[in-house]
Amino acid sequence: MQYFVYVTMSPDHPPKGGGGGPPSAEKMAEIAAFHEEATRSGTIVATGRLGQGVTRICGDGDDVTVTDGPFIEGKEVIPGFTLIEADTKKEAIEWAIRYRDLIGMSELRVAEVLGG
């Protein structure tokens, strides 16, 4: 099964230690090694960083409204995602906890990809 694992950042869930600056070269090497091992083992299917310029598309049929963001009412930022392969949700959650601790974020979310 595949799971969509994504980082969320908000005032309620800042990075651990109150940081937010770029990781050290040593930490980046540790993260890169983790990604490489997880990709080689088949756990990581895809990763990506998300831009904060969101476009909202609303409407029905030909009545469509397209609005560029970011949207001020949204407090959460989703800076990136990882698509993983895991046999069970428990396994996906365990992987996400290890990843969360490694990257120093206080919150990650895990969602099963249906039909994938």
Query: Looking at residue 20, what is its pLDDT?
Result: 60
> Which residue ranges make up each domain of the chain?
2-17+25-113
Domain 2-17+25-113 fold: Alpha-Beta Plaits (3.30.70)
pLDDT tens digits for range 65-82: 998 876 656 677 778 899
Query: Looking at residue 73, what is its pLDDT?
Result: 60
Query: Looking at residue 70, what is its pLDDT?
Result: 67
Which of 110, 106, 105 lies closest to 86 in space, CA to CA? 110
Q: Who has greater pLDDT, 41 or 55?
A: 41
Q: Give Cβ neighbours of residue 25 (< 8 Å, ≥ 6 apart).
A: none
pLDDT tens digits for range 6-49: 988 776 766 665 556 677 899 889 999 999 999 999 999 999 98
Query: Looking at residue 22, what is its pLDDT?
Result: 73
Mean pLDDT of the region 105-113: 88
Residue 27 CB neighbour total at 10 angstroms: 13
